[in-house]
């Protein structure tokens, strides 16, 4: 069996969920489990949070149906709403909460014949300019949807563009825009992603929507997950599958981009870009072997990568190699690769078996 596993610590996810709750006592939580629970496995994560979260948030009907299959009662929010009019019927049958983020969706909802009314989350474009109604249009649609037979609860939703950059002026503007709609009699309101859950109490409203923090990564560049009290949920672990000594001037890997400056011990490791490890990870990106950080060298291959183990003389074939996780924050690897933890976690490919522990 190929020695590469993504270990997922479900107890860490429950711990991180409890951190979100502690940040905002008395609020309800939509645990964001879209994109296969940010790569961790939607079935296992929903099961782990079955009795903890008040609801789950997903990106599409297919994900929602999977969650409903595991949880009969939880509220399940379609964050982007229905992509075509026919989806409203299925959403109603599954008892979903749906975002309504634009004129086309709102019009289709009013024309839909649904077996039971839906909980609707009218989306406000408070400044991100990705989805949602501008404030004046929101007021108009609030009036039209309030009386509609297709609508059970009418709720308010918006999303921050820059809450991960503390003190960004757009965040304050977005919050003000949201608060300016408080005179409308929505049943529930929701604004806070992880960054806002952790640092913007004024944005907590009725329902939180934490995503990345549940998985033990930080939404902030300058605040680590550990500093936020979060525990890493995924550890990507491979093995040393070959070892060799090379002389100064000899190169490693495709393109011969890394050249030894000293007599070097090179380990070949069972993980590559076909597993989701970023191909553009530069030489020097750390991995952990025998508790020591050692550098990636040369280009990442599809199924393998190379590290320099000269400073770990006892290392042998079969040694465990942590690419990220319990000993090496995924955010640090993301930073070295010019991306964010979200991308690395969601891009771990299907061929990497997930192994779960709940203790
Ligand atoms: C609308 C919405 N709410 C909440 C979240 C969760 O955000 P985060 O993972 O930063 O907590 C997302 C994630 O992209 C989202 O799109």
- 149/260 same-domain check: no
Q: Is residue 228 part of a domain?
A: no
Report the SS3 class of residue 200: coil
Q: Is residue 291 part of a domain?
A: yes
> What is the per-residue pLDDT for 219?
97
- Other beta carbons within 10 angstroms of residue 58's beta carbon come to 26
Of ligand 1's listed atoms, the one at least distance from the Cα of 159 is 1
Residues of the chain with pLDDT under 70: none
- 146/271 same-domain check: no
79 lines ligand 1 (CB under 6 A): yes
> What is the per-residue pLDDT for 21?
98
What is the 120 CA–ligand 1 centroid distance (Å)?
18
101 lines ligand 1 (CB under 6 A): no
Question: Cβ(98)–Cβ(91) under 8 Å?
Answer: yes
Q: Is residue 334 part of a domain?
A: no
- Other beta carbons within 10 angstroms of residue 127's beta carbon come to 21
Binding-site residues sit at 130, 302
- 55/149 same-domain check: yes
Of ligand 1's listed atoms, the one at least distance from the Cα of 212 is 9
Q: Is residue 269 part of a domain?
A: yes
Rounded-to-integer distance, Cα 335 and Cα 331, Å = 6
- 21/103 same-domain check: yes
Angle, CA of 336, 7 and 354, to the nearest 5°: 105
Range of the domain at 79: 10-215
Q: Is residue 287 part of a domain?
A: yes
- Residue 322 belongs to a domain with what CATH number? 2.40.37.10
Residue with tokens 């595991």: 70
Which tokens hold the place of 338?
């010019």
> What is the per-residue pLDDT for 32?
99
- 67/147 same-domain check: yes
Question: Hey, which residues does 235 pair with through a beta bridge?
Answer: 7
- What is the widest separation between alpha-carbon atoms in the chain? 77
Of 88, 142, 254, 356, which residue is the catalytic one? 254
Binding-site residues for substrate sit at 130, 302
Of 34, 38, 142, 342, which residue is the catalytic one? 34
Best residue among 209, 214, 221 to mutate for probing ligand 1, ranked by most atoms within 8 Å of CB:
209
Report the SS3 class of residue 351: coil
- 127/205 same-domain check: yes
194 lines ligand 1 (CB under 6 A): yes
Rounded-to-integer distance, Cα 18 and Cα 67, Å = 20
142 is catalytic: no
Which tokens hold the place of 161?
């563009």
212 lines ligand 1 (CB under 6 A): yes
Write the DSSP assignment of 98-133 as a string of letters.
EEE-SHHHHHHHHH---SS-EEEEEEB-SS--SSSB
Q: Is residue 351 part of a domain?
A: no
Per-residue pLDDT tens over the stretch 151-167: 999 999 999 999 999 99
> What is the per-residue pLDDT for 294?
98
Rounded-to-integer distance, Cα 160 and Cα 102, Å = 17
> What is the per-residue pLDDT for 14?
98
- 103/21 same-domain check: yes
- 114/184 same-domain check: yes
- 308/185 same-domain check: no
> What is the per-residue pLDDT for 252?
98
What is the 193 CA–ligand 1 centroid distance (Å)?
5
> What is the per-residue pLDDT for 187?
98
123 lines ligand 1 (CB under 6 A): no
> What is the per-residue pLDDT for 127?
98
Of ligand 1's listed atoms, the one at least distance from the Cα of 157 is 1
265 lines ligand 1 (CB under 6 A): no
- Other beta carbons within 10 angstroms of residue 298's beta carbon come to 20
Q: Domain count of the chain?
A: 2
Report the SS3 class of residue 268: strand
Q: Is residue 222 part of a domain?
A: no
- 247/211 same-domain check: no
What is the 251 CA–ligand 1 centroid distance (Å)?
43
> What is the per-residue pLDDT for 13?
98
- 110/198 same-domain check: yes
- 182/239 same-domain check: no
**Listed residue (69, 119, 71) closest to 97, CA to CA:** 119
What is the 195 CA–ligand 1 centroid distance (Å)?
9
Pick from 183, 215, 247: which residue ends a domain? Answer: 215
Of ligand 1's listed atoms, the one at least distance from the Cα of 209 is 4
- Residue 33 belongs to a domain with what CATH number? 3.20.20.10
What is the 249 CA–ligand 1 centroid distance (Å)?
47
34 is catalytic: yes
Q: Is residue 343 part of a domain?
A: no
Per-residue pLDDT tens over the stretch 103-125: 999 999 999 999 999 999 999 99
């Amino acid at each position: 069996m190929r020695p590469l596993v993504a270990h997922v610590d479900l107890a860490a996810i429950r711990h991180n969920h409890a951190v979100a709750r502690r940040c905002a006592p008395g609020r309800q939580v939509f645990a964001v489990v879209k994109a296969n629970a940010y790569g961790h496995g939607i079935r296992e994560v929903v099961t782990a949070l079955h009795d903890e979260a008040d609801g789950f948030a997903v990106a599409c009907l297919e994900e929602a149906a999977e969650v409903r299959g595991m949880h009969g009662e939880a509220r399940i929010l379609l964050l982007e709403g229905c992509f075509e009019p026919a989806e409203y019927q299925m959403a109603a049958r599954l008892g979903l909460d749906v975002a309504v983020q634009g004129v086309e969706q709102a019009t289709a909802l009013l024309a839909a014949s649904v077996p039971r009314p839906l909980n609707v989350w009218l989306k406000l474009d408070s400044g991100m300019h990705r989805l949602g109604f501008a404030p004046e249009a929101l007021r108009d649609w609030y009036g039209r949807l309030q009386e509609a037979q297709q609508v059970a609860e009418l709720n308010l939703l918006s999303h921050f563009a820059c809450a991960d950059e503390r003190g960004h002026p757009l965040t304050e503007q977005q919050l003000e825009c949201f608060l300016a709609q408080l005179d409308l009699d929505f049943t529930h309101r929701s604004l806070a992603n992880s960054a806002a859950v952790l640092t913007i109490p004024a944005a907590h409203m009725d329902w939180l929507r934490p995503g990345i923090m549940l998985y033990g990564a930080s939404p902030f560049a300058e605040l680590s997950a550990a500093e936020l009290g979060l525990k890493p949920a995924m550890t990507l672990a491979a093995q040393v599958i070959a070892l060799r000594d090379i002389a100064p001037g000899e190169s490693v890997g495709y393109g011969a981009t890394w050249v030894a400056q000293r007599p070097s011990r090179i380990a070949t490791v069972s993980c590559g870009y076909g597993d989701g490890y970023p191909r553009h990870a530069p030489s020097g990106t750390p991995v952990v072997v025998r508790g020591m950080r050692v550098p990636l060298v040369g280009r990442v291959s599809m199924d393998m990568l190379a590290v320099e183990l000269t400073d770990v003389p006892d290392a042998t074939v079969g040694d465990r190699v942590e690419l990220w996780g319990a000993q090496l924050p995924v955010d640090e690897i993301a930073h070295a690769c010019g991306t964010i933890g979200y991308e690395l976690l969601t891009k771990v490919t299907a061929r990497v078996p997930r192994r779960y522990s709940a203790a």
